[in-house]
Amino acid sequence: MEIKSIKFIINPSSGRQTMERRIDVLIKMLLDNGYIVGKSFTKEKNDAMIMAKKACNSNFDLIIACGGDGTVNEVAKGIMESRRKLPLAILSGGTVNDFAKYLALPTNAREFYKLIKRERMIEVDIGKVHTINKSEHEYFVNVAAAGMLTNVAYQVQADIKAVLGRMAYYFEGIKELGKQKFDPLQVRIKSDEYENEEDILLFLVSNSSSIGGFKKLAPEADILDGLLDVVIIKKSAITDLANIFMNILTGDHINHPNVIYYKTKSVYIESSSIVPIDIDGEYGGELPARFEVIPKALRILI
Domain boundary among the residues 58, 93, 119 is at 119
Confidence at residue 153, expressed as pLDDT on a 0 to 100 scale: 46
Lowest-pLDDT range of 29-38, 123-132, 232-241, 258-267: 232-241
pLDDT above 80 (res 239): yes
Q: Are residues 216 and 260 in the same domain?
A: yes
Confidence at residue 200, expressed as pLDDT on a 0 to 100 scale: 96
> What's the mean pLDDT in 256-266?
98
Give me the percent of the chain exceeding a pLDDT of 70: 86
Q: Are residues 176 and 221 in the same domain?
A: yes
Q: Are residues 112 and 183 in the same domain?
A: no
Q: Are residues 97 and 158 in the same domain?
A: no
Domain boundary among the residues 55, 88, 119 is at 119
Q: Are residues 182 and 159 in the same domain?
A: yes
User: Is the residue at 301 inside a domain?
Assistant: no
User: Is the residue at 157 inside a domain?
Assistant: yes
Confidence at residue 159, expressed as pLDDT on a 0 to 100 scale: 52
Which residues sit opposite 90 in a β-bridge? 65
Q: Which residues make Cβ contacts (< 8 Å) with residue 201, sequence separation at least 6?
A: 147, 148, 182, 184, 185, 233, 234, 235, 236, 241
Q: Are residues 179 and 270 in the same domain?
A: yes
> What's the mean pLDDT in 92-119?
89
pLDDT above 90 (res 156): no
Select the more confidently predicted residue: 241 or 7. Answer: 7
Confidence at residue 178, expressed as pLDDT on a 0 to 100 scale: 47
Q: How far apart are CA 254 and CA 231, in angstroms?
A: 8
Select the more confidently predicted residue: 77 or 151. Answer: 77
**Please, which pLDDT band fits residue 150 given cuts at 50, 70 and 90?**
low
Mean pLDDT of the chain: 88
Cβ neighbours, 10 Å, residue 86: 23
User: Is the residue at 207 inside a domain?
Assistant: yes
Domain with residue 9: its CATH number is: 3.40.50.10330
Query: What is the span of the domain harbouring residue 239?
Result: 128-295
Say if residues 113 and 29 touch (Cβ distance below 8 Å): yes
Q: Are residues 185 and 260 in the same domain?
A: yes
Whole-prediction pTM: 0.87
The pLDDT tens digits for 173-230 are: 445 544 555 679 999 999 999 999 999 999 999 999 988 777 888 999 999 999 999 9
Q: Are residues 150 and 279 in the same domain?
A: yes
Q: Are residues 77 and 166 in the same domain?
A: no
Q: Are residues 286 and 169 in the same domain?
A: yes
Confidence at residue 175, expressed as pLDDT on a 0 to 100 scale: 52
Give DSSP secondary structure letters for 231-269.
EEEES--HHHHHHHHHHTTTTGGGGSTTEEEEEESEEEE
Confidence at residue 148, expressed as pLDDT on a 0 to 100 scale: 77
Confidence at residue 152, expressed as pLDDT on a 0 to 100 scale: 45
Q: Are residues 195 and 57 in the same domain?
A: no
Lowest-pLDDT range of 118-122, 135-139, 291-295: 135-139
Rg (CA), the chain: 19
The two beta strands, 282-286 and 289-301, are unpaired
**Please, which pLDDT band fits residue 267 given cuts at 50, 70 and 90?**
very high
User: Is the residue at 77 inside a domain?
Assistant: yes
Confidence at residue 56, expressed as pLDDT on a 0 to 100 scale: 98
Task: Measure Cα distances from 85 to 11, 60, 88, 128 in Å.
Answer: 21, 11, 9, 16
> What residues are labeled active site?
282
Specify the number of domains making up the chain. 2
In 3D space, the residue among 293, 276, 285 whose CA is nearest the CA of residue 135 turns out to be: 285
Confidence at residue 171, expressed as pLDDT on a 0 to 100 scale: 44
Say if residues 206 and 129 touch (Cβ distance below 8 Å): no
User: Is the residue at 277 inside a domain?
Assistant: yes
User: Is the residue at 259 inside a domain?
Assistant: yes
User: Is the residue at 300 inside a domain?
Assistant: no
Which residues sit opposite 186 in a β-bridge? 199
